[in-house]
Homo-oligomer: A and B are copies of this chain.
Amino acid sequence: MNSAKVFFVTKRFYSGVASRVKAQKYVLTKYFQGEPKNTDFKIIEEDLPELKDGEILTEAEYISVDPYMRAYMVGYKLPVDMIGGQVAKIIASRNETYPVGKYVTGSFGWRSHTICNPENLKGKPGFSPFTLLPDLTPHPVSLALGILGMPGNTAYFGLKEICKPKPGETIVITGAAGAVGSHVGQIGKNLGCRVIGFAGSDEKCKYLEKELGFDRAFNYKTTDIRSALREGAPKRVDCYFDNVGGEISSTIMSYMNKYGRVAVCGSISSYNDPQPPKVTILQPAIVFKELKVEGFLVDRWINRWEEGVKANLDWLHDGKLKYQEKIYEGFDNMVEALVGMLRGENTGKAVVKVK
């Protein structure tokens, strides 16, 4: 028996995993038509191999449902493993930096158990970049999928680097009660801006105004957008954080100030449409107001990932960042959670507690 083998046996012993593990995973077998459905997927059981040197075995504790999932799956050849971020516990390890019992986040997809070599993942772009979680006590580890993870960094870098808001400016946010939107608004307030949100229910609007300190929030389903802007943004709009696309975005851009900045984070209003919808043309507003409209994916700032997490953690500790989570339960309910999030059931981040 050579030394490598001894090492392996030791680690296996340490991990407490007595035998090979079976993973369950969602495989997409039909492209979404309209809203995602359970019948678009198959749940497959998969034997995992033994750990190689440097690898870890993780067990999902929380799996994320995010708007991008609806948009991206059209780009893959079927059948394909479902994408997505998760917070997972290390349950076996052959990598001393990643001991059993610690938590990691990564783009592991909708699956129960995963083997990976962290060295191949660290610093790589992805929907949910790989990280070893620090101790978040007293906060739940699920925050690594929310304000201390991809959505949190989307809010942080998108607002700071694309919108570049100055104190006193007016920021408008659509999808304002979602994981990213509710966070953007609070950063905006922390930076000294006037913050206006559009969300999908009166209850969400009340939460944004009363709990999160938005200057105004409007129910886009029951309010005339132009009147709301006149009322909420008397100095018009300098920065627009666009989570939804659609006609509301055309209206908001037509109400912006010269040299306004638009961070296009998503286009959730059109994700379930089989054909991209038609909306009022943006170019006249873009040219005459000299707007800068920029789309972004958060992994552009992968090299500054920890900066964002730290900034958000500091605000959290200082009481300047609040959060809500909508927690669905059970690995079998992934599709229900995704659809619920796309329908706007959640205030703040939607996650599935699978363990």
Q: Which residues of A contact B (CB under 8 A)?
A: 71, 242, 245-246, 249, 264-267, 270, 276-297, 300
Contacts and interface: CB of A to CB of B under 8 A. Distances in A.
Contacts of A294: 286, 290-293
Tally of this chain's copies: 2
Most central of A246, A279, A284, A287 by chain B CB within 10 Å: A287
Given A288-B71, A300-B290, A295 B283 contact: yes
A308 B71 CA distance: 43
B281 A270 contact: yes
28 contacts: A242-B283, A245-B281, A245-B283, A245-B284, A249-B283, A264-B283, A264-B286, A264-B287, A265-B287, A266-B287, A267-B281, A267-B283, A267-B287, A270-B284, A276-B281, A276-B284, A278-B281, A279-B279, A279-B281, A282-B282, A283-B295, A285-B295, A287-B297, A289-B295, A290-B294, A291-B295, A292-B293, A293-B293
B300 A295 contact: no
Contacts of A283: 242, 245-246, 249, 264, 266-267, 270, 295
Contacts of A264: 283, 286-287
A289 B284 CA distance: 22
**Complex A-B, nearest 6 residue pairs according to Cβ-Cβ distance, in ascending order:** A245-B283, A286-B295, A287-B295, A267-B283, A278-B278, A293-B293
